[in-house]
Amino acid sequence: MRKLLAVLFLTLVVFSCKKSDNSNPETLPNAYSDQAVGKSANDVLSAATYTTMNIQIQYMPGYAPDTATISKFTTYLNNLCNKPGGINITQQQIAANGDTLTVDKVAVVEKQNRTAYTGGNIIAIYILITDGYDTSTTTLGFAYRNTSICLFGKDIYDHSGGVGEVTRVALETSILEHEFGHIMGLVNLGTQMQTPHQDTAHGNHCSNPNCLMYYAIDTHEALPVLANHIPELDANCLNDLLYNGGK
């Protein structure tokens, strides 16, 4: 059974943002948090079961998210998720890794460090920001469980903030919001489409190149076109979220 769950889990990882991986992620001590990407979309969006959302951000030394990123991300969440009990974000530095990371390795880091889990009326999300690169060398972040996201902090830093480059805040925020879009079940990943707009050639992404959920947003392909602009969800994506319990 564990092998079957691992295969299903990895299939969804490939179709969200990770381009390829052949790993067997570590299981978590909390069964709810050990499900496939998009599985908890309605729980994240609606207040039917969970009225509060706690987001635990853990970052490796030198890669704490910018305060402006957190501010923009908080607004993004409050605009989309029905959480009358509030959305709370905590941050904590963890030990350095200093290596390229597969989904397998990210899952190990999460298991070793994550302390926020879903229970009662609180749904918990885990976000890891690393000091290394993804092994694909082009992926800047991915969602890999129903409540888990990884951002490659060093890669983001190395490709932003310089002369002629996108600002760090624009790149960091775009990737973070894109990956959370997958946690909310976009596109067709736990949140049903109301109008067809999935780019099936690129998995669970939006066919609109101007939408936050366009496939290239979380890769190096987005760097020349972001131009300090943080893309927004288009009307189709917003409508999908609304019909799955969102605002």
Q: Residue 42 is encoded by which pair of tokens?
A: 């309605």
Q: How many whole angstroms separate alpha carbon 197 and alpha carbon 178?
A: 16
Can you tell me which residue has the tokens 């947003």? 217
Contacts of residue 96, Cβ cutoff 8 Å, sequence gap at least 6:
60, 61, 131
pLDDT given for residue 164 in this prediction = 81
Strand partners, 93: 59
pLDDT given for residue 74 in this prediction = 98
Strand partners, 143: 149
In this structure, are residues 207 and 228 in contact, taking their beta carbons and an 8 Å threshold? no
Q: How many whole angstroms separate alpha carbon 65 and alpha carbon 62?
A: 9
For residue 144, what is the enclosing H or E element?
strand 141-145
Q: Residue 174 is encoded by which pair of tokens?
A: 């775009």
pLDDT given for residue 94 in this prediction = 98
Which CATH class name applies to 2-24+33-243?
alpha beta
Q: Among 144, 129, 146, which Cα is nearest to 30's?
A: 146
pLDDT given for residue 220 in this prediction = 82
The domain ranges of the chain are 2-24+33-243
Q: Please, where are the H alpha helices in 81-199? A: 103-113, 153-158, 168-183
Q: What is the pairing mode between strands 52-59 and 122-130?
A: parallel
In this structure, are residues 57 and 129 in contact, taking their beta carbons and an 8 Å threshold? yes
Per-residue model confidence as pLDDT tens for the chain (247 residues)? 433 333 333 333 333 465 433 344 678 999 999 999 999 999 999 999 999 999 999 999 999 999 999 999 999 999 999 999 999 999 999 999 988 899 999 999 999 999 999 999 999 999 999 998 998 778 999 999 999 999 999 999 999 988 888 899 999 999 999 999 999 999 999 999 999 999 999 999 999 999 999 999 988 876 766 766 899 999 999 999 999 999 9
Q: Residue 76 is encoded by which pair of tokens?
A: 């993004």
Q: How many whole angstroms separate alpha carbon 5 and alpha carbon 25?
A: 10
pLDDT given for residue 123 in this prediction = 98
- Give one DSSP letter per residue of 71-84, joined into a string: HHHHHHHHHH---T
